[in-house]
Structure 1
Amino acid sequence: MVRVTSDEINQAKQVRIIDFLDANHIDAKQEGRRGEPYYRLADHDSLVIKGEKFFWNSRQEGGYGVISFAMTYYDLKFPEAVKRVNEHEYAPVKHREEARANEPFRYPAHYEVKDTKKIEDYLVNERKIDPRVVEWCIKKDLLVQDRKGNAVFKWKDQEGKVNGADRQGTAPMDNGGYFKGMVAKSKEDGGFTIDVGKNPKKIAVFESPIDMLSYWSVHKKKVQDTRMVSMGGVKIESVNRAVMDLRSQGHKVEAIVSAVDNDKAGNQFHQKLKDHYGEKRVIDDRPKDVKDWNDVRKQRTAAPKRQPESQMGM
Structure 2
Amino acid sequence: MTRIEKVKQKAILEVAESLGYSFKRLSAQVYEHPEHDSFRIFADTNTFKWFSRDIQGDVIDFVQLMTGVSFKEALSYLETGDFEQAKVFEETYQPFRYYLREEPFDQAQIYLNDIRGLSDDTINAFGRQGLLAQAHYQTKIFQESVLVFKSYNHHGQLEGASLQGLVKNAQRHDRGYLKKIMKGSHGYVGMSFDIGKPKRLIFCESVIDMMSYYQLHQKQLSDVRLVSMEGLKLSVIAYQTLRLTAEEHDKLNFLDNIKPSKLTHFLRIIQETTIFFQNHPGLITLAVDNDEAGRDFCQKLSEKGLPIEIDLPSLQELETKADWNDVVKSQRNLSLRDVIQSAKLQVIRSNPPPRKNTALEL
Give me the TM-score of the superposition, normalised by structure 1.
0.61
The secondary structure found in structure 1 opposite 2:145 is: coil
Say if 2:97 is the partner of 1:107.
Answer: yes
- Tell me the equivalent position of 1:205: 203
- Tell me the equivalent position of 2:223: 225
Residue type matched to 2:292 in 1?
K
Percentage of matched positions with identical amino acids = 30
Say if 2:314 is the partner of 1:288.
Answer: yes
Say if 2:300 is the partner of 1:269.
Answer: no
- Tell me the equivalent position of 1:122: 111
**Cα distance, 1:137 vs. partner?**
2.0
Residue type matched to 1:228 in 2?
L
The 3 A distance-change label for structure 1 pair 230 and 150 is same
Distance 1:232 1:117 in 2: 24
Give me the TM-score of the superposition, normalised by structure 2.
0.53
The secondary structure found in structure 2 opposite 1:287 is: coil
Tell me, yes or no, if the aligned pair for 1:164 and 1:183 is still in contact at 8 Å: yes
Say if 2:169 is the partner of 1:173.
Answer: yes
Superposed counterparts of 1:245-256, under 5 Å: 245-250=243-248, 253-255=280-282, 256=284
Tell me, yes or no, if the aligned pair for 1:246 and 1:253 is still in contact at 8 Å: no
- Tell me the equivalent position of 2:188: 189
**Cα distance, 1:214 vs. partner?**
0.6
Distance 2:176 2:322 in 1: 17
Tell me, yes or no, if the aligned pair for 2:96 and 2:186 is still in contact at 8 Å: no
Tell me, yes or no, if the aligned pair for 1:165 and 1:186 is still in contact at 8 Å: yes
Distance 1:112 1:293 in 2: 30
Superposed counterparts of 1:290-309, under 5 Å: 290-304=321-335
Residue type matched to 2:95 in 1?
F
CA RMSD of aligned residues (A): 2.3
**Cα distance, 1:158 vs. partner?**
1.9
The 3 A distance-change label for structure 1 pair 150 and 222 is same
- Tell me the equivalent position of 2:265: none
- Tell me the equivalent position of 1:18: none
Superposed counterparts of 1:119-158, under 5 Å: 119-147=108-136, 148-158=144-154
- Tell me the equivalent position of 1:58: none
The secondary structure found in structure 1 opposite 2:155 is: coil
The secondary structure found in structure 1 opposite 2:202 is: strand
Q: Structure 1 unaligned runs (5+)?
A: 1-32, 39-100, 306-314
Runs of 4+ in 1 over 4 A off after TM superposition: none
Tell me, yes or no, if the aligned pair for 1:247 and 1:253 is still in contact at 8 Å: no
Distance 1:261 1:157 in 2: 25
Say if 2:169 is the partner of 1:163.
Answer: no
The 3 A distance-change label for structure 1 pair 149 and 270 is same
Residue type matched to 1:105 in 2?
P
Distance 1:195 1:274 in 2: 25
Deviation per residue, 1:15-52 (Å, 9 max, x gap):
xxxxxxxxxxxxxxxxxx932449xxxxxxxxxxxxxx
The secondary structure found in structure 2 opposite 1:166 is: strand
Residue type matched to 1:284 in 2?
I
Superposed counterparts of 1:66-81, under 5 Å: none
**Cα distance, 1:103 vs. partner?**
7.6
- Tell me the equivalent position of 1:67: none
The secondary structure found in structure 1 opposite 2:148 is: strand
Deviation per residue, 1:63-84 (Å, 9 max, x gap):
xxxxxxxxxxxxxxxxxxxxxx
Distance 1:223 1:276 in 2: 27
